[in-house]
Amino acid sequence: MDKKFIPFADFKPMHDEIRPELNMAYHRVLDNSSFIQGEECQQFEQEFAAYCQTKYCVGVASGLDAIYLILKALGISTGDEVLVPSNTFIATALAVSYTGAQPVFVEPEIETYNIDVNRIEENISPKTKAIIAVHLQGRPANMDAIHKIAKKYKLYLIEDAAQAHGASYKGKKAGSLSDAAAFSFYPGKNLGALGDGGAVTTGDKGLADKIRILGNYGSDYKYHHIYQGANSRLDEMQAAFLRVKLRYLNKWNQERKKIAKRYLQEIKNPLIHLPLPDSEEYSHVYHVFVIRCKWRDELEAYLKKNGVYTVKHYPIPIHLQSAYANLQLTNGSLPIAEEISNTVLSLPMYYGISKDNIDTVIRLVNGFHINQCS
């Protein structure tokens, strides 16, 4: 007999509902025999730019590439510094490192999980060229305050919106709140391809053009190369799937908000710290629903034993990863990022999770107590 369990995420309910449309998209691309730089990508770029309330969108191969190509197009390179939140996914920092510049970690606010605007200025040096504001977990960063600082110090402001498709800040969509924004269409994101993909949105035509050229071998027209560019394009198959899925993004985000609302209202356990609720100013799309608990590992094991799968976003902060040993940042150097890594746990969150399964997660989390596992 199959043991019943509740996964952390499940794409099947989402894809089963739109399977005929995905099949049509697949056949359309196959019949066209155009697989790179064709109609589908062009159409998707227009549709996604409109969705994000921006003028331009450039499809690229991944979210990591989207951040990297923005930085590269802005001329950021060796000797420069770029501010990034200390608790983001490693891709934000890697994109900076790829340009030759140095990522400088700014601690987040523990309640919003986003960059602490009061700690940005102390990290600015004469080498600082840009700030990357990450809308982590699907909650927009405090963009007005960050804008003010960027303007005062003449820094570029970039959004890492890889977890925030459809989120909005004071009524404006993520992706439209900075010089340029990076999106990922990794399958697990709120808008996911059936493989890898990414995009840049911007209101700056010159920047969009340069990013497109940089992602196409630095070529402005065929076999004519003005930059030492990369190969980073959103392929036709993924663009066709994304065009189908974009039409359902609002519905799926609404569902995420509903699940979050239930968790927020019904989880009542003094050992569990809940995230901030959705608000009109900060319209949160709950890419992940992250709780904190001092006994996080015990909670994780207890939930797993009872058939509920969770994930830690993220268990090791970037500055303590071997990949960044060169920075020589030891344990204790970024205490808020470390506290977050030591205590966070993400609960099941996906379109199509049944009411019964939400009930079960809530009941189990409410039933957790300290001696649970001993």
Ligand X SMILES: *Cc1c(COP(=O)(O)O)cnc(C)c1O
**Residue closer to ligand X (CB basis): 299 or 336:** 336
Phi, psi at 70, each rounded to 5°: -60, -50
**Prior bond to 221 cis, omega within 30?**
no
Tell me whether residue 153 or residue 314 sits nearer to ligand X (CB atom). 314
SS3 content of the chain, % helix, strand, coil (to 5): 40, 15, 45
CB of 144 to ligand X, least distance (A): 21
CB of 277 to ligand X, least distance (A): 21
Question: Taking the complex as a whole, how short is the minimal distance between the CB of residue 1 and ligand X, in angstroms?
Answer: 37
| Cβ atoms 290, 349 nearer than 8 A | no
Stated as kind and residue range, the H or E segment containing 147 is helix 143-152
Q: Which residue number has the CB closest to ligand X?
A: 63
Q: How far is the CB of 256 from ligand X (least distance, A)?
A: 15
The beta-strand segments (E) located in 107-215 are 128-134, 156-160, 168-169, 172-173, 180-184, 198-202
Rounded least distance, CB 91 to ligand X, Å: 3
Single-letter amino acid code for the residue at 374: S
Smallest distance, ligand X to C-beta of residue 119, A: 19
Q: Nearest distance from residue 103's CB to ligand X, in Å?
A: 12
Q: Which is nearer to ligand X, 54 or 184 (CB)?
A: 184
DSSP letters spanning 21-75: HHHHHHHHHHHHT--SSSHHHHHHHHHHHHHTT-SEEEEES-HHHHHHHHHHHTT
Q: Which is nearer to ligand X, 54 or 62 (CB)?
A: 62
Tokens at 115, concatenated: 């960059």
Q: Which is nearer to ligand X, 113 or 351 (CB)?
A: 113
Half-sphere exposure of 152 toward its Cβ, with a 13 Å CA cutoff?
9
Least spacing, CB of residue 317 vs ligand X, in Å: 14
Nearest to 346 by CA among 315, 371, 374, 319: 315
Please check whether residue 269 is in contact with residue 365, taking contact to mean a CB–CB distance below 8 angstroms. yes
- Give the DSSP letter of residue 148: H
C-beta closer to ligand X: residue 58 or 91: 91
Which two three-digit tokens encode residue 202? 């911007």
**Which is nearest to 248 in space by CA: 170, 166, 347, 164?**
166
Q: With residue 305 as reference, give the H or E element that holds it.
A: helix 296-305
CB nearer to ligand X: give 186 or 350.
186
CA count, 13 A, side-chain hemisphere, 10 = 14
State the minimum distance, in angstroms, from the CB of residue 182 to ligand X.
Answer: 7
Residue among 89 and 282 whose Cβ is closer to ligand X: 89
Within 10 Å of residue 225's Cβ, how many Cβ atoms?
Answer: 13
Our CB check for ligand X shows the closer of 140 and 198 to be 198
The nearer residue to ligand X, 134 or 303, going by C-beta atoms, is 134
Q: Provide the binding-site residues for ligand X, judged by CB under 6 A.
A: 62-64, 88-89, 91-92, 134, 160, 162-163, 184, 186, 196, 198
- Kindly state the smallest distance separating residue 329's Cβ from ligand X, in Å: 20
